[in-house]
Amino acid sequence: MKNLVWFAFGVAGGFVVAHMVNKDPRGHEMLAEIDARIGEFTDRMGDAYREQETRIAGIVESVADAAAEAVATTKGVAADSSAGD
């Protein structure tokens, strides 16, 4: 519980310091630059995630097609062998 209180004080203190820094023009510029970098990072992460998701969806689709083809071939072979009996 003690750690939670210290954590809450740290978060609150961080907000207070950020607010005070934001009031200064140089601090405001610095925080805007940090915000821009964070935005760029999250955009890149989102793009990479969507690219990977598309790549995986293509692999899954290929595997599903191959499985369907294998099932169809197996059914065809089974039908041919039972017709010959």
Please answer whether residues 39 and 31 qualify as being in contact, where contact means their C-beta atoms are separated by less than 8 angstroms: no
Q: How confident is the model at residue 83 (pLDDT cuts 50, 70, 90)?
A: low
Mark out the alpha helices in the chain (DSSP H runs). 2-23, 25-83
According to the model, what pLDDT value does residue 1 have? 86
Residue 36 or 78, more confident: 36
Q: Cα–Cα distances in Å, from 47 out to 37, 38, 54?
A: 15, 14, 11
Q: What is the pTM of this model?
A: 0.59
Residue given tokens 């990072």 in the structure block: 41
The ranges assigned to domains in the chain are 25-77
How far apart CA 42 and CA 20 sit, in angstroms, is 26
The 10s digit of each residue's pLDDT in 23-75 is: 999 999 999 999 999 999 999 999 999 999 999 999 999 999 999 999 999 88
Q: What is the DSSP letter of 43?
A: H
